[in-house]
């Protein structure tokens, strides 16, 4: 094992108290404008923007810095069509038979259903995979620690980057994900975590009237 190597933290920028307050408040205001969107425009988006957002996600902290993620950036209309086709087949089973009534009740305010046109309308789908183990240099199989949590953090940063870039997204978790390994030609040891649908909103896009929990109900101080 190599001995640990360290370097001075030169990247950190010390801000003034007032700059910190201003930036924290301004970023909060910006993030409060984020909404999940289900109706997308087919207006193109430059691939470089998506690559930068994914690169931001890939800066996320991860257990033992094992970076247990893989991102497939999908823009081929043919691949999007195949994803939509298999996803809708599974969603139909979910909405017709698999979903418990309580789950369907909980989805009522979102008015979701088995049809997923956004999977073809949006210019980009980012399929995010979790690698729960890895092969070491000696060929040994070892676990990736907190792999799902690490990927969750990366997805949060991806969503934030997409919003900050002026685009909208939907964190789509297909009912049953396994089928997408085949469509996206990914090995079985990568498991799909979600598809982030990214693009511009449709001109007539609507979002459900929802409320965020008041801060004092989700935060306590100790
Ligand atoms: N995957 C289905 C059902 C669904 C589940 C949850 I949890 C949601 O927040 C939204 C939908 C679908 O996408 O329709």
Gap from CA of 134 to ligand 1 centroid (Å): 30
Gap from CA of 106 to ligand 1 centroid (Å): 10
Q: Which atom of ligand 1 is nearest to the CA of 112?
A: 14
Question: What's the mean per-residue pLDDT of the chain?
Answer: 97
Note whether residue 216 is domain-resident. Answer: no
Does residue 36's CB lie within 6 angstroms of at least one atom of ligand 1? no
Note whether residue 17 is domain-resident. Answer: no
Note whether residue 4 is domain-resident. Answer: no
Note whether residue 40 is domain-resident. Answer: yes
Note whether residue 217 is domain-resident. Answer: no
Residue 81 burial (10 A CB sphere; 0-12, 13-18, 19+): exposed
CA distance 81 to 89: 12
Given a cut of 80, whether residue 26 has pLDDT beyond it is: yes
Q: What is the arithmetic mean of pLDDT over 6-11?
A: 97
pLDDT digits (tens, 9 = 90+) for 28-60: 999 999 999 999 999 999 999 999 999 999 999
CA 102 to chain CA centroid, nearest Å: 25
Does residue 175's CB lie within 6 angstroms of at least one atom of ligand 1? yes
Residue length, the chain? 222
Contacts of 194 (CB under 8 A, 6+ apart): 127, 128, 155, 171, 172, 173
Say what the pLDDT of residue 177 is: 85
Residue among 100, 101, 122, 137 at smallest CA distance from 40: 122
Q: Is the pTM of this model over 0.95?
A: yes
Q: Which atom of ligand 1 is nearest to the CA of 174?
A: 1
CA distance 199 to 125: 9
Structural domain of 98 = 36-203
pLDDT digits (tens, 9 = 90+) for 88-143: 999 999 999 999 999 999 999 999 999 999 999 999 999 999 999 999 999 999 99
Cβ pair 175, 152 in contact under 8 A: no
CA distance 64 to 10: 22
Q: How many domains does the chain have?
A: 1
Domain CATH number, residue 99: 3.40.109.10
Given a cut of 70, whether residue 1 has pLDDT beyond it is: no
Note whether residue 133 is domain-resident. Answer: yes
């Amino acid at each position: 094992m190599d001995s640990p190597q360290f370097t001075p933290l030169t990247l950190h920028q010390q801000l003034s108290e007032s700059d910190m307050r201003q930036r924290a408040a301004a970023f909060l205001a910006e993030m409060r404008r984020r909404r999940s969107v289900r109706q997308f425009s087919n207006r193109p988006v430059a691939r470089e923007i998506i690559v930068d957002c994914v690169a931001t996600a890939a800066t996320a902290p991860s257990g033992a810095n094992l970076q247990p993620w893989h991102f497939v950036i999908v823009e081929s209309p043919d691949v999007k069509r195949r994803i939509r086709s298999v996803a809708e087949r599974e969603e139909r089973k979910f909405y017709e038979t698999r979903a418990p009534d309580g789950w369907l009740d909980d989805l009522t305010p979102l008015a979701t259903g088995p049809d997923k046109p956004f999977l073809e309308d949006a210019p980009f789908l980012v399929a995010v995979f979790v690698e729960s183990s890895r092969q070491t240099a000696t060929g040994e199989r070892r676990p990736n620690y907190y792999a799902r949590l690490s990927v969750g953090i990366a997805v949060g940063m991806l969503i934030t980057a997409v919003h900050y870039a002026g685009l909208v997204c939907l964190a789509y978790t297909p009912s049953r994900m396994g089928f997408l390994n085949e469509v996206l030609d990914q090995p079985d040891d990568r498991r799909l975590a979600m598809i982030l649908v990214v693009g511009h909103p449709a001109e007539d896009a609507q979002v459900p009237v929802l409320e965020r929990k008041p801060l004092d109900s989700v935060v306590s101080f100790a």
